[in-house]
Amino acid sequence: MKLDLNIQPLESWIKAKSEPLLIAGPCSAETEEQLVATAHLLAKTGKVTALRAGIWKPRTRPGEFEGIGSIGLKWLSRAKEETGLPTAIEVATAKHVEEALKSGVDILWVGARSTVNPFTVQEIADALRGVDVPVMVKNPVNPDLSLWIGALERINGAGITKLAAIHRGFSYHEKTAFRNEPMWDMAIALKTHVPHLPIINDPSHICGNRELLGYVAQKALDLDMQGLMMESHIDPSVAWTDAKQQVTPAALADIIDRLTLRQPEVKGADLKDKLAELRSQIDKIDDIVFQKMGERMQIVEKIGNYKKENGITILQVNRWEEILNRRIPYAKALKLSPEFAEKLLELMHSESIRKQTEIMNEGQSGQAQEKLTHA
């Protein structure tokens, strides 16, 4: 389903100094010197288009540094005046919005912990009504696409058309290499729903460390995201927040230099022809895959009817294990990753169970049907 949001192109409100578009700055504004000195070094790289800094910090535990507060707005104004970099901060309340706008902050963003709460997002949206300021919405902490879209809709509904999303990864129950799992599929799904919405990637909060920043940034660009937001501190070792993931302006410039920029559009007739030919091969194969899926479902229907007539349960765990055990080695031999093969099988299996449940329920009394569908 495509969403009809009224969004202006990114280039209409932010012109990248160089490719890729980079918004950078410390996780938190700590002191006037730290912020202004970092801004100067970032501006000097020639790669940074806007300066970010948190002045109101959402912290998990009370008693931790919760941001320098409103005084930081003055420091941001000074950094902007001296470097020419437009400024960006996180806002989480109507008061933040009012103060930021009064102080001339150029770009606002909604943080991951605010996006999860529709009351908060609506409060921010209401404070933005009638104002022409760019707003970026970070994905919610939990992998819930509707919450992310809902927040974008609320801000857009308040008349904000200079709108972008920030992909900063998602909280995940297992420990992985990342602080926040990228779950790239979520960003791709957002792009599918709102193709004209720019998405900025935030490798810093995805990684939680310095080592993987380049890898994540490259992947984001390869997925055609429109820019990067990255944390940079004049001396990360003494940063008051997110010390492990911040890099010096010089290290940031180095990461950016190593990125490969690829074109979303194919240039040159030869390349276009080759790509068109390969795509037509893919189209043919996809048609065959769908045809085979259709045939598979017809057999599933026969199995469903047979089970119903003979009073056999829909799910037989042994059978599912047998399918996995047989198919995964075969998939590996075909150079398909086991994760992909398992996901695909799970998808087919759950659709087959859905179909068989439908068959089992056919002809049941209305009341029983009700019960089943609400179980």
Binding region for Mn ion (CB under 5 A)? 27, 242
Contact with ligand PEP (CB under 6 A) among 27, 136, 165, 221: 27
The two structure tokens encoding residue 116: 């999860």
Contact with ligand PEP (CB under 6 A) among 80, 96, 138, 210: 138
Q: Which stretch binds ligand PEP (CB under 6 A): 109-117, 125-133, 272-280, 339-347?
A: 109-117
Specify the 3-state DSSP secondary structure of 161.
Answer: coil
What is the C-alpha separation between 85 and 230, in angstroms, rounded?
15
Instruction: Report whether 196 contacts 7 (CB < 8 A).
Output: yes
Query: Quick one: 182 or 304, whose CB is closer to Mn ion?
Result: 182
Instruction: Report whether 76 contacts 108 (CB < 8 A).
Output: no
Contact with ligand PEP (CB under 6 A) among 154, 162, 167, 205: 205
Contact with ligand PEP (CB under 6 A) among 20, 67, 86, 111: 111
**By CB under 6 A, residue 210 contacts ligand PEP:** no
Smallest distance from the beta carbon of 134 to ligand PEP, in angstroms?
A: 16
User: Other CB atoms closer than 10 Å to residue 2's CB: what's the count?
Assistant: 9
Specify the 3-state DSSP secondary structure of 280.
Answer: helix
Sign of CA dihedral 331, 337, 338, 342: negative
Comparing every residue's Cβ against ligand PEP, the nearest one is 111
**By CB under 6 A, residue 179 contacts ligand PEP:** no
Smallest distance from the beta carbon of 205 to Mn ion, in angstroms?
A: 6
User: Other CB atoms closer than 10 Å to residue 51's CB: what's the count?
Assistant: 29
Binding mask of the shown chain, residues 266 to 305, with x at each position contacting ligand PEP by CB under 6 A: ----------------------------------------
User: Other CB atoms closer than 10 Å to residue 184's CB: what's the count?
Assistant: 18
Amino acid, single-letter form, for residue 106: D
Residue from 160, 153, 70 nearest 108 by CA: 160
Task: Summarize the chain as % helix, strand, coil (round to 5).
Answer: 55, 10, 35
Smallest distance from the beta carbon of 37 to ligand PEP, in angstroms?
A: 19
**By CB under 6 A, residue 198 contacts ligand PEP:** no
**By CB under 6 A, residue 108 contacts ligand PEP:** no
Query: Quick one: 239 or 300, whose CB is closer to ligand PEP?
Result: 239
**By CB under 6 A, residue 112 contacts ligand PEP:** yes
Residue 111 binding: pick among ligand PEP, Mn ion, none (C-beta 5-8 Å cut-off by kind): ligand PEP
What is the C-alpha separation between 234 and 248, in angstroms, rounded?
5
- Which residues of the shown chain bind ligand PEP in the complex (CB under 6 A)? 27, 54, 90, 111-113, 138, 168, 205
